[in-house]
Amino acid sequence: MQLSSLKEHSHIYGFEPSFVIWTQGCPIRCKGCWNTHTWDSKGGFAMDIESIFHRIKAQKDSTTLPIQAVTILGGEPFYQYDELYKLVSLIKTIDLGIIVYSGYEKNELIEKKKDSIFSLIDVLIYGRYIESLRDLNLHLRGSSNQVIDFLSKRYNESLIKDGNYIEIDIDNFGRLDIVGYIQNLQDIGVGKI
């Protein structure tokens, strides 16, 4: 599977501590997208499904930072549908919540026959990012047209907590990793890096 990046523990990309996967490759290419580095299908790095799954399982079993869910976004996860389906099928075996994003509308996924995965995931967040509808205070969405669709009973609407969420991690080498919906670094008091 072609990936852009992984974050083994996050509190902002779901409703509980999550392992986050950004896939690589997006044919939709929404105007104003802030993940343009994920568009090129040949960018990022390749990782086999079993290796991704083993990292997820290790994080679930972690005694220090266990996860309870997996969130997959992109890029466009449905661009690599066969790999996405295999990965989600494996994740389902270890009882983790599963959230998957798509820039496609739900009916487009159905028309493209990419809907068999719906029975395996808990939440589908769908719809194109529309720059004129950008709202940094929406939970899990970048623009107000995007839909959070609860496909199972694991989660529900009461868990949606609108607000502007970001995470800042500093690794052992002093490298900064900032994720979330931020307008610019000055908004969080970081200044230029």
Asked whether residue 127 is assigned to any structural domain, the reply reads yes
**What whole-number distance in Å separates Cα of residue 192 and Cα of residue 93?**
44
Asked whether residue 171 is assigned to any structural domain, the reply reads no
Residues 94-129 as b/e (b if ≥16 CB within 10 A, e otherwise) read eebbbbbbbbbebebbeeeebeebeebbbbbbbbbb
Rounded (to 5) percent helix, strand, coil in the chain:
25, 25, 50
Strands (E), 47-165: 69-73, 97-102, 123-126, 147-150
Q: How far apart are the first and last CA of the chain?
A: 31
Asked whether residue 187 is assigned to any structural domain, the reply reads no
DSSP letters along 102-123, please? ESS-HHHHHHTT--GGGGT-SE
Residue 148, token pair as written in the block = 């959070």
Domain residues for the domain of 130 are: 2-162
Asked whether residue 45 is assigned to any structural domain, the reply reads yes
Helix (H) or strand (E) holding 168: strand 166-170
Q: What is the pLDDT of residue 183?
A: 57
The one-letter amino acid code at 43 reads G
Distances (CA, A) of 12 to 102, 163, 171, 182, 192: 18, 10, 18, 12, 23
Q: What is the pLDDT of residue 185?
A: 47
Q: What is the pLDDT of residue 186?
A: 47
Asked whether residue 172 is assigned to any structural domain, the reply reads no
- pTM of this structure: 0.89
Q: What is the pLDDT of residue 8?
A: 94
Q: What is the pLDDT of residue 162?
A: 87
Q: What is the pLDDT of residue 118?
A: 98
Asked whether residue 186 is assigned to any structural domain, the reply reads no
The pLDDT averaged over each successive group of 10 residues in the chain (193 residues) is 95 94 96 90 96 98 94 97 98 97 98 98 97 92 96 95 79 73 52 41
Asked whether residue 93 is assigned to any structural domain, the reply reads yes
Q: What is the CATH number of the domain that holds 27?
A: 3.20.20.70
Domain count for the chain: 1
Note whether 102 and 126 are within 8 A (CB): yes
Asked whether residue 191 is assigned to any structural domain, the reply reads no
